[in-house]
Amino acid sequence: MRRLAAIALMLVTISSSSLAVQPEEMLRDPKLEARARELSRELRCMVCQNQSIDESEAPLARDLRLLVRERLTKGDTNQQVLDFLVSRYGEFVLLKPPLESRTLILWALPPTALLAGAIGLFFAMRRRRTDGLEAATLSIEERRKLATLVDDQRSER
């Protein structure tokens, strides 16, 4: 039963990774097709944005996959294909843009936002804790009323 579940999981994983690439898109040369798939995993779908063009079923992703394969069949190297697409669509087309001065904000924004959120949460929790302490402190008049209520309660027993 475990083997059957493992095989089913493997088949689902394999089939889901190749759903977007249609058979008519694939190149006949297995080496070129492997290069195309490798490049497709590095390129962002401009519609989906969190998927590579290899995974996306969007029409634009299909067009980009075909463009990658066209450039490879014309003899471009992997880097030439990437350079062509970056010149056409900008650094955003890369799922992992290079760390450069102009892409620094892409790399710095997520950790900065996470740190700012953690600092904000720390101060909010700290303020909440001190607000709770202030609320627990009774004024002299409130203490007198409480003492009276407690005494009344004891005398009733």
CATH number of the CATH domain containing 72: 1.10.8.640
Which of 65, 82, 98 is the C-terminal boundary of a domain? 98
- DSSP code per residue over 64-78: HHHHHHHHHHTT--H
Output the pLDDT for position 1.
76
Alpha helices in 103-139 (DSSP H): 104-136
Residue 110 lies in domain:
104-156
Residues 22 and 80 in one domain: yes
pLDDT at residue 81, rounded to an integer: 94
Q: Are residues 81 and 113 in the same domain?
A: no
Q: Is 54 a residue whose pLDDT tops 80?
A: yes
**119-135 confidence digits (pLDDT tens):** 999 999 888 776 656 65
Mean pLDDT computed over every residue of the chain: 83
For 90, counting Cβ atoms within 10 Å of its Cβ (0-12 exposed, 13-18 middle, 19+ buried), the class is exposed
Same domain, 79 and 115: no
1-31 pLDDT per residue, tens:
777 776 766 665 554 444 577 777 777 888 9
Q: How would residue 85 be classed by pLDDT, with cut points 50, 70 and 90?
A: very high
- Whether residue 92 is found in the same domain as residue 127: no
In terms of domains, do 112 and 57 share one? no
Q: Please give the residue that has the higher pLDDT: either 100 or 57.
A: 57
Do residues 21 and 86 both lie within one domain? yes
Please give the pLDDT value at position 133: 60
The reply to whether 21 and 88 lie within a common domain is: yes
Q: Give pLDDT, residue 17.
A: 46
pLDDT greater at residue 80 or residue 129: 80
74 & 111 share domain: no
Residues 37 and 108 in one domain: no
What burial class does residue 134 get, using C-beta atoms within 10 Å of its C-beta: 0-12 exposed, 13-18 middle, 19+ buried? exposed
Identify the pLDDT of residue 11: 64
Q: What is the pLDDT of residue 16?
A: 47
Residues 32 and 48 grouped into a single domain: yes
Number of structural domains (the chain) is 2
